[in-house]
Structure 1
Amino acid sequence: MNDAAQQSRHVMLVAGETSGDTLGGELMAAMKEISTWPLVFSGVGGEAMERQGLTSIFPMTDIAVMGPREIIPRLPLIFRRIRETVHHAVAAEPDIVVVIDSPEFTHMVAKRIARRAPNIPIVDYVLPSVWAWRQGRARAMKKYIRRVLALLPFEPAFLRSVGVDCVYVGHPAIHRVPESGSGKQFREEHGIGADQPLLLVLPGSRVNEVKHLLQIFGDVVKTLAKEMPDLRIVLPTVPHLREVVEKAVHSWPTDVLLVSDEQQKRAAFDAATAALAASGTVALELGLARVPMVVAYRAEALVGWFALNVLKIPSVVLVNLILDRPSVREYLHNRCTPKELLEGLRPLMTDTPERTRALADFDEMRVRMGIGGEPPSRRAAKAVLELL
C-alpha cells in the first residue's frame, strides 16, 4: 500500500444524547470497515462511540438534558462545553466534523467551527425537522453545513430546493423491523389463535400523555371487545410506565398482555392485526412492520394551536409524509375521541379494502425507505468518506 493510502484521516464526531451516540457508534464501525485509510476519531460521545475508539472530550451526560427545567440551571456548563468542543476542533484541525442530532447543541458547535475554521467540512447526521417549521433555518444551514445525512426519503428534495447538499441514508427504525415468523411464534407462546384478532395499543412514552390517552383508548377497547368477543390486546410498555399502565388497564373488559422486552415488542408487531397508537416514531415502526393503524394525539390547547397554525406539513404521521398522501388516518386534538377512533379502526381489524390498501401502502413505503438494502450506517459512512 502506498504512503497516501497509509496516511490516516482524522474524523471528529459530536453527539449530544443516547440516540445520537448509538448512531455515531454504528457510523464509526461502518467507516472503519470500508475506509481505505486508517481513521483517527475524536469528539464528544457516549458508550457506543467510545467502544469504537472515541475518547470523549468530556462526559456526554453533561449536555444530554431535556426540557427547560433541566437545561436552564445547566446553561453555564453547556456553554462551556460548546466552547471546549469548538476549541478542540480548531486546535486539532480534523479532516471532517460530523455532528449528530441534538441540534440545540450540535448546531451551535457547527456554526462556531465554521466561523473559526471554514476549511473543515461539517456533516450533519439527522436533519432537524426544518421541513415542519422554521423552514428558513434550512437555508441558514447552507452557511455552515457541507452535507446532510437524511433519515427520511423526502428530506433530500426539500434541502436541495434551498441549496443544501443532502444524501438519504435511512432511518434507524429500519433496524427494528420484526424478524419473519416471529409473530407466529408470539401468538403460539401466548395462546393467541392464528386467526384471532390482535390489537396493539401504544399510548406513548410520557406519563401524562399515557394517562390521558389510555382513558380514550380504554373506551375504544370496551366497544371493540363487545363487537369482537375473541379480541386480544397487547400493550408494549417500558419499565418506568408499567405501574401507570397496569393501573389504567385494570378496568378494561379483556385481559391486556403487557410486554416490555424489545424482542417481544417486535414480535408483537409481527403478530398484530392492527394498532391504536399515539403520534410519534412508533407510527413509522408500525408502517415498516406492515401493521395497519390509526394514530391519535391529544394536546393542551396551546400545543394544539401550535400544531394547527405553525407546522408547515399536512400530517404529523411520517408514513403519510413519506408516501405524500393521507394513508394513515390521524385523529388529533378535538378529533381524538373514542367514537372517531373506532370508525377508523374497525375496517382495519378484518379483511376489508381499507386493510388491503393500508398493507399495499406500507409495502410501497418499505421500498422508498430501502428495506432489505444496504444498512443506514454503511450508507452514512460512504457519504462521509466521499468528502474525504
Structure 2
Amino acid sequence: MPHLHIIAGEISGDTHASGLIRELQTLQPEMRFTGLGGQRMREAAGQGIEDWVEKAGVVGLWEVLKMYSYFKGKMTSSTEQILRERPDAVVLVDYPGFNLRLAKAVRAGGYTGKIIYYISPQVWAWKKGRVKVMAKVLDLMICIFPFEKDFYEKSGLPTVFGGHPMVDRVHSLRREWKREPNLVGWFPGSRLNEVRKLFPTMLQAAKAIRLQVPNARFVASAANERLAQQMRDMAEAAAMPEAKAWIEVGTVYDLMQRCQVGAVASGTATLEAACFGLPYALVYHVNQLTYMAAKLVVKIERIGIVNILAKRDVVRELVQAELTSDSLAAEMASLLTDHDRRAALEKDLADVVATLGEGGAYRRAAEAVIATMEK
C-alpha cells in the first residue's frame, strides 16, 4: 500500500492539499495518507492527518517567534514520524518557513524516499540562494505560475508547471451574479492578526467614501464566525454599529462576483479576486518589525501576484504607511466613479488570469507525484 506523508500549514494549503489528495485517491485508491493539515485534508484523507492549520497559520516574524516552542515541537515530532514510518514520499505544500526546514531535517536523518514540493515557495522574491539547497533535498517541484518552471530548473531541480488550481475552482464557483452598482467589498483576510490590522481602516474608509459617493454600499467578508464576531466588535468600537450588518460569513466568492469594487488583503485572495474579475486594490499591513525584516530579504518591487505576473502595476498596492483610511477611500471612490478605469482594470485582470492554464491542475499534480514515486 503506497504511503504518502503530506504537510500543509495554512488554510489555502489545506485547500490545495485536499484537492491533490482526492486526485491521488482517484488514481491510486489504496494510497494511505499521514501528516499535518486542516479540516479539508482530514475529510479527504481521514484520521492520519492532524488538524493544526488554525494554530499554524500565523503571519509575521514576531507572531512566529512567540510560538517558537510550538513549532519546534512539531518539527521534531514530524521528523521523527517520517524517519520512523518511512513513507514512500513526502509532499510539502507551500508553507516554506516550516516545510523547507523539515525537508533538510529528514534528509539529514537519512530519509531516502521522494520529497516533492507542491505550490512552490516564492524564493524568487526573497531568497534566491535557497534554490540550490532545495535542489539538493527535493526530487520534484510542482509550480503553479508559468515563470517559475524556468527559474527552478536553472538550478537543476526537476520542475513541472501544473497550472493554477484557482482556474478550476473559479469555474466551479462562478454564479450568474451581476455586479451591483456602488457596492464596495471589504476582504480583510482569513487570519485574526490581518483582520485586526485591516478592518478598522476599512471601517473608517467607508465613512470617507460616502462623502464622495453618497449612495455607496458596503459588505464585508469574514472567513468564519469567530472572525465575524471580532469584526462586529470592531464596528462597535468604531461607533459604527450599522456596520455589523455588512458582515457575511462563507460568501467570499459570491461577494467577489457581486461587488463593483473591493479591497483585498494581500495573499491568495488577491488572485481569487482577479480570477473573478473584481476590480480591487491590494491592502497590506503587518507589525512594523515584521515589515522591516521582510524588506531586508524581499528582492521584488511588487508584492501582489497579479502585478508580479504582469510585470507592472495592474492593481494599486496600499502597503504599510501608504494604507490609510483616506488613501483607501480615494482608491475605492476612483474605481467606483471612473468607468473607463474600472473597465481597463477588468481587462488587465483577465489577461493575467489567462496565463495560469486551462484547468486540471490537481490532476496534473497528482500524476506528477505518482510518476516521481514510481521512479
> What is the aligned partner in structure 2 of residue 44 from structure 1?
35
**Once the 2 structures are TM-superposed, how far is the Cα of residue 173 of structure 1 from its aligned partner?**
3.8
- For 2:7 and 2:51, how far apart are their aligned partners in 1? 8
**Once the 2 structures are TM-superposed, how far is the Cα of residue 235 of structure 1 from its aligned partner?**
0.5
> What is the aligned partner in structure 2 of residue 265 from structure 1?
252
Q: 1:127 to 1:342 in 2, by over 3 A?
A: same
> What is the aligned partner in structure 1 of residue 227 from structure 2?
241
> What is the aligned partner in structure 1 of residue 275 from structure 2?
288
- For 1:268 and 1:289, how far apart are their aligned partners in 2? 10
Paired residue for 1:210, among 168, 192, 195? 195
Q: Normalized against structure 1, the TM-score is what?
A: 0.80
> What is the aligned partner in structure 1 of residue 61 from structure 2?
none
Count the aligned residue pairs: 361
- Alignment map for 1:120-269 (pairs within 5 Å): 120-174=113-167, 176-177=169-170, 179-184=173-178, 196-237=181-222, 238-250=224-236, 251-252=239-240, 257-262=245-250, 264-269=251-256
2:69 counterpart of 1:72: yes
Contact 1:298 1:336 in 2 (8 A): yes
**Once the 2 structures are TM-superposed, how far is the Cα of residue 307 of structure 1 from its aligned partner?**
3.7
Contact 2:180 2:259 in 1 (8 A): no
Contact 2:209 2:330 in 1 (8 A): no
**Once the 2 structures are TM-superposed, how far is the Cα of residue 213 of structure 1 from its aligned partner?**
2.9
2:300 counterpart of 1:308: no
- For 1:62 and 1:344, how far apart are their aligned partners in 2? 34
> What is the aligned partner in structure 1 of residue 94 from structure 2?
101
**Once the 2 structures are TM-superposed, how far is the Cα of residue 311 of structure 1 from its aligned partner?**
0.9
Contact 1:62 1:77 in 2 (8 A): no
Q: 1:15 to 1:229 in 2, by over 3 A?
A: same
Residue ranges of structure 1 left out of the alignment (5+ in a row): 1-7, 185-193
Q: Note the alpha carbon deviations across 1:299-333, whole angstroms, 9 max, x for none.
A: 34323323433211111111111222210111212
Q: Note the alpha carbon deviations across 1:182-221, whole angstroms, 9 max, x for none.
A: 424xxxxxxxxx7531000122344454344333323322
**Once the 2 structures are TM-superposed, how far is the Cα of residue 363 of structure 1 from its aligned partner?**
0.8
- For 1:357 and 1:232, how far apart are their aligned partners in 2? 23
Paired residue for 1:343, among 330, 336, 340? 330
Contact 2:183 2:218 in 1 (8 A): yes
Q: 1:351 to 1:333 in 2, by over 3 A?
A: closer
**Once the 2 structures are TM-superposed, how far is the Cα of residue 288 of structure 1 from its aligned partner?**
1.1
Residue ranges of structure 2 left out of the alignment (5+ in a row): 59-63
Higher relative contact order (CA 8 A, sep 6+): 2
Q: Note the alpha carbon deviations across 1:222-279, whole angstroms, 9 max, x for none.
A: 22212222211010113122233223335449756434432x2211111111002332
Q: 1:300 to 1:101 in 2, by over 3 A?
A: closer
Q: Which residue identity does 1:144 align to in structure 2?
A: V
Contact 1:30 1:381 in 2 (8 A): yes
> What is the aligned partner in structure 2 of residue 321 from structure 1?
308
2:355 counterpart of 1:368: yes
Q: Which residue identity does 2:331 align to in structure 1?
A: G
Q: Which residue identity does 2:343 align to in structure 1?
A: T
- For 1:343 and 1:39, how far apart are their aligned partners in 2? 56
Contact 2:232 2:243 in 1 (8 A): no
Q: Secondary structure at the match of 2:333?
A: helix
- For 2:268 and 2:133, how far apart are their aligned partners in 1? 27
Q: 1:260 to 1:121 in 2, by over 3 A?
A: same
- For 2:45 and 2:290, how far apart are their aligned partners in 1? 42
- For 1:256 and 1:76, how far apart are their aligned partners in 2? 39
2:83 counterpart of 1:86: yes
Find the structure with the greater CA-based Rg: 1
- For 2:169 and 2:217, how far apart are their aligned partners in 1? 23
